[in-house]
Amino acid sequence: MEWWQALTLGIVEGLTEYLPVSSTGHLILAQRALGLEEGPAANAYAICIQAGAILAVLGLYRGRVIQVLRGLLGREPAGLRLGLALLVAFLPAAIVGLLFDEKIEELLFGLKPIVAAWLVGGVAILAVAFFKRRSAGRGGVDLAELGLAGAFLIGLCQCLALWPGTSRSLVTIVGGLLVGLSMASAVEFSFLLGVITLLAATAYKSIDAGPAMIEHYGLGTILIGTLAAWFFAVISVRWMVRWLQGHGLALFGWYRVALALGVGAWIYMR
């Protein structure tokens, strides 16, 4: 892998990780467009450079992170409740991912399944956007009011994101809205849950396929991709929060549908 290919993949990861458009799907598409071969090393690289996106959210939401850490140390009840909610939401996808990791890579890490996920997710976003317009006056509850049952339902939704192309951010934000959170609270919970989920996935892939990844690409390209992912994730998260406050999710739904149709046509015509 050349340095500019690593930089390109890092930019793609950073811009798409927390947007409801699927970073994994975009990275696999970018790898194919750049001529990088499929395999465990490529899949591991796409997941491990997520470390940059994790650092971005840890910096931007350091107040919440510190609150959770204080809660886990018994110093802040609200932080403890949020920490437990995040743990409960994390467990379903962690268990399903560990049980079916190899099968998921075998069956779903390809452009055709990803295109299908983009299309299904895009239609789902447009449906949710329509529902939110119909119920605009109802608002939603604050993150402090999220219970463990609601957190578990969000966690079940996150299991859908094991299908590349679905988008972890999409299903967790939608899950938050379905359990009654406000848009701002659903987005914040999705970002915080993403830190735990991405950290676990990165650690697992580093152990499982790290040596093959380093042998194929070298430490330098991994570092370039990770730093680029961090920088562009900061930009992406800040923009997304501002956008959702005034416009909602519909833009991402239309984008996913258009992308699915465009890439689907390209696959058909090859």
Q: Residue 40 belongs to what domain range?
A: 3-269
Query: What average pLDDT does the segment 93-100 reach?
Result: 86
Kindly provide the residue ranges of all beta strands, DSSP E only, lying in the chain, ordered along the sequence.
Answer: none
> What is d(CA 214, CA 42) in angstroms, rounded to the nearest whole number?
10
Q: Is 115 exposed, middle or buried (CB count within 10 Å of its CB: 0-12, 13-18, 19+)?
A: buried
The total domain count for the chain is 1
> What is d(CA 40, CA 248) in angstroms, rounded to the nearest whole number?
36
Q: Which two three-digit tokens encode residue 213?
A: 């990844």
Query: What average pLDDT does the segment 182-203 reach?
Result: 88
> What is d(CA 136, CA 155) in angstroms, rounded to the nearest whole number?
25
- Per-residue pLDDT band at 136 (split at 50, 70, 90): low
pLDDT for position 138: 56
Q: How many Å separate Cα 154 from the centre of its chain?
A: 13
Strand partners, 181: 141
| Residues near 219 by beta carbon (within 8 Å), at least 6 away in sequence | none
pLDDT for position 135: 54
Q: Is 147 exposed, middle or buried (CB count within 10 Å of its CB: 0-12, 13-18, 19+)?
A: middle
- Per-residue pLDDT band at 134 (split at 50, 70, 90): low
pLDDT digits (tens, 9 = 90+) for 229-246: 999 999 999 998 888 877
Give yes or no for a contact between 198 and 50, defined as CB atoms under 8 angstroms apart.
yes
Give yes or no for a contact between 43 and 29, defined as CB atoms under 8 angstroms apart.
no
Give yes or no for a contact between 132 and 262, defined as CB atoms under 8 angstroms apart.
no
Per the listing, tokens 């994101």 go with 161
pLDDT for position 1: 80
Task: Return the number of other C-beta atoms located less than 10 Å from residue 192's C-beta.
Answer: 23
Give yes or no for a contact between 197 and 93, defined as CB atoms under 8 angstroms apart.
yes
Lowest mean pLDDT of 100-104, 134-138, 143-147, name the range.
134-138
User: Rg of the chain over CA atoms, in angstroms?
Assistant: 18
Task: Return the number of other C-beta atoms located less than 10 Å from residue 131's C-beta.
Answer: 12
**Cα→Cα distances 268→38, 74, 223, Å:** 19, 57, 35
